Amino acid sequence: MPFFTAGMLITAGVSVYQGVPFKNFWTQFCGSVDAMRRSIETLNASPDIHLPALEYGQYQPILVPLQNWVDFGSQHWAKEMGTARLHLTQQANTQPLSNDEPANVPLTRCALLDAALRKCFNSEPPIPIDNNVRQKKKDEADADTHGIEVSWDYAADGKTPTMLHYTMVCPYRSPADANM
């Protein structure tokens, strides 16, 4: 049976990381230029990551060790993140990375997410990240797989990114799945 904790729905050991508490938790690390600078300092001090090669899923447990965010589903992080990467790697992409790189069209949706995050962490100034999570509806296309929505805010020139907005779209989980 599903239950709620810290703004997340836990269903049969599968976490849907949605809600204000989870969003606020990660905003303190990536939601502003200053927060990004602090996070970059932490990441640069770690031997477990190389920012020019950063991928979705690598930086989160370095910024906050998994044992420090159990209330936000860290015990399911590896499984959920790995499944998302598998699903997104199987989806072709036609969206350019950003307005300032219109010819950069990563081959897969996973590659788009990775490239967008690398752009944020490797730009000067760093680009803040607004991350969101939602669950697909039962009748939504490809309801059984992850998806990703990526968009940017831009400076007045219409080309310089000032904020990345990405939404991890999780597969639909029926109430019956919760009892399995």
Rounded to the nearest angstrom, the gap between the alpha carbon of residue 167 and the centroid of all alpha carbons in its chain is 7
Whether 180 is in a domain gets the answer no
State how far Cα 88 lies from the chain centre: 12
Q: What is the pLDDT of residues 120-160, one digit of tens each?
A: 999 999 999 999 888 899 999 999 999 999 999 999 999 99
Q: What is the pTM for the complete model shown? A: 0.85
Query: Which residue in this structure is represented by tokens 């072709």?
Result: 92
- Residue 133 has a pLDDT of 85
Question: Do the domain assignments include residue 179?
Answer: no
Q: Is residue 178 part of a domain?
A: no
> Does residue 79 lie within any of the structural domains?
yes
**Which residues make Cβ contacts (< 8 Å) with residue 93, sequence separation at least 6?**
105, 106, 107, 108, 109, 111, 112
pLDDT band of residue 26 (cuts 50, 70, 90) is confident
Range of the domain at 117: 3-65+73-173
pLDDT digits (tens, 9 = 90+) for 54-108: 999 999 889 887 676 656 666 777 788 899 999 999 999 999 999 999 999 999 9
How many structural domains comprise the chain? Answer: 1
* Residue 94 near residue 150 (C-beta atoms within 8 A): no
